[in-house]
Amino acid sequence: MNLAFKRLAITLGLAIASIAAPAAAQEYPSKPIKLQIPFSPGGATDVLARLVGDEFATRLGQPVIAENRPGASTGLAAAYVAKSKPDGYTLLLSTPTHSINAAASQNLPFDAVNDFEFIGKIGQIGFVLMASPDLQVTDLQGLVALARREPDRLKYASSGLNAQGQLWTDAFIQKARINALHIPYKGETQALTDLLGGQVNLFLCTFTVCGPRMNDKAMVPLAVTTSRRFAQAPTVPTVIEAGFPEAEMNWWAFIAAPKGTPPAVIQRLNTTLNEMLADETFKKRLLALGIDPEPRTTAAATRSLIRSEIDRWRSSVVKTDTN
C-alpha cells in the first residue's frame, strides 16, 4: 500500500511540474530584467545592448535595465551572470572577447560554455583601422612604410587585453614585420578618446564607434576588415584590397543567461530575439550602426559558435594564467 502511495505521489508531482513549467514561462517576465554589458558606456557593445534592451522591453512588457560591468576582458560581467539566479532576470550581452578570454585562461571563475544557456546571436560587424592625422598616412602600405622608417613611432590602442582589436593588430604587425606599442583600455570609448587626443596613433575599432568619424579630419580610416567595403564609407578599401587578405575579421554579439535557466524562458527569449531580427524597423536600426543582423538564430548554433571561437583563438591569445 505504501509503495502504491509513493508511486501515486511521484506521478502527481511530475504532472504538477509539467503544468507549472509552461505557466511560469507564460508569467515571464513579471519584473525588470538586468542586461549585463562587459564594456564601458559608449562603445559598440554598449550601444547595441541598449538598443536590444529597449526592443526586448517593448516586446516583453517589462523594463530591461542595461548595466555596464567592464573589466577582466569581459570576465567580470560573465562571472556575475554565471553566478546569478537562473531565472531569466539576469542576462549577458557579450562579444567574441568572451571566447578569447576563455582561450587565454584555464582559471576563469566560470566556464565560458557550460555555465551559460545561450539565447542567440544578434549579428556581426566589421572593424576599421583608424590612424591619427599626425602619422600622415592614408593607407596600410603607407603605414607599413612609416613604421619601417620610424620603428618606435606607432602606439596602438585596444578595447582591452586579448580583445579582437589587439589580436588583429598584433597579427598585422607581425605579418608586416613592423613594431608597435600596445596600450589596452577598458572599452572603445576610452581608446577613441585617446586616439583623438594624440596619446595613441592607431586604433582598430568597430564601425559603430568609429564610423561617424570616418569622414571628418580628426582621424584617418586606413582600411576595413570586411570582405566588402562599408556602404557608409565606400572610399575606404578593404584589407584584402590593401594586400592583406588574411586580415579579414568580423565582430559579433550574442545573448546568454545563467546555466539552469528554465528551457521555456530561454525559448521565450529566443523567439522574441528572432522576431526582433525579422522586424524591418529594428533591422534598419542595426544596419545604421553597421551591424549585419543574423537572419535566424538558435541557442544550439550560438553555443557551437562560442566553442569554435575558443578553439580558434587558443593559439594566438596572450595567456593570462598566473600559475
Answer yes or no: do 183 and 43 share one domain: no
Please give the pLDDT value at position 261: 98
Answer yes or no: do 286 and 227 share one domain: no
Considering the domain boundaries, does residue 39 fall inside one?
A: yes
Average pLDDT, the chain: 90
Adjacent-strand bridge partners of 224: 128, 238
Answer yes or no: do 68 and 5 share one domain: no
Answer yes or no: do 220 and 190 share one domain: yes
Strand extents, DSSP E, 75-207: 90-94, 116-131, 155-158, 181-184, 202-206
Answer yes or no: do 45 and 189 share one domain: no
Rounded-to-integer distance, Cα 47 and Cα 287, Å: 13
119-133: pLDDT as tens digits: 999 999 889 999 999
Domain of residue 20, residue span: 1-25
Adjacent-strand bridge partners of 292: 124
Answer yes or no: do 186 and 139 share one domain: yes
Write down the pTM of the prediction.
0.78
Please give the pLDDT value at position 208: 84
Average pLDDT over residues 278-282: 97
Considering the domain boundaries, does residue 155 fall inside one?
A: yes
Q: Are 276 and 304 in contact (CB under 8 A)?
A: no
Q: What is the DSSP letter of 238?
A: B
Give the torsion sign (CA, 206, 211, 212, 214).
Answer: positive
Please give the pLDDT value at position 214: 78
- Within 13 Å of residue 138, how many CA atoms lie on the same side as its CB? 4
C-alpha cell at 221: 580610416
Backbone angles phi, psi at 221, to 5 degrees: -75, 125
Answer yes or no: do 156 and 259 share one domain: no
Q: Is 267 helix (H, G, I), strand (E, B) or coil?
A: helix
Question: Is it the case that residue 319 has pLDDT exceeding 70?
Answer: no
Q: How many CB atoms lie within 10 A of CB 109?
A: 13
Q: What percent of the chain is predicted at pLDDT more than 70?
A: 90
Considering the domain boundaries, does residue 198 fall inside one?
A: yes
Considering the domain boundaries, does residue 321 fall inside one?
A: no
Answer yes or no: do 56 and 91 share one domain: yes
Burial string for 38-77 (b: 16+ CB within 10 Å, else e) reads: bbbebbbbbbbbbbbbebbbebeebebebebbbbbbbbeb
Question: Is it the case that residue 13 has pLDDT exceeding 80?
Answer: no
Q: Is 160 helix (H, G, I), strand (E, B) or coil?
A: coil
Considering the domain boundaries, does residue 207 fall inside one?
A: yes
Average pLDDT over residues 249-258: 95
Question: Is it the case that residue 249 has pLDDT exceeding 70?
Answer: yes
168-205: pLDDT as tens digits: 999 899 999 999 999 999 888 899 999 999 999 999 99
Question: Is it the case that residue 139 has pLDDT exceeding 60?
Answer: yes
Nearest to 259 by CA among 85, 136, 100, 102: 85
Considering the domain boundaries, does residue 304 fall inside one?
A: yes
Q: Total domain count for the chain? A: 3
29-70: pLDDT as tens digits: 999 999 999 998 988 899 999 999 999 999 999 999 999 999
- Strands 202-206 and 155-158, sheet pairing: parallel
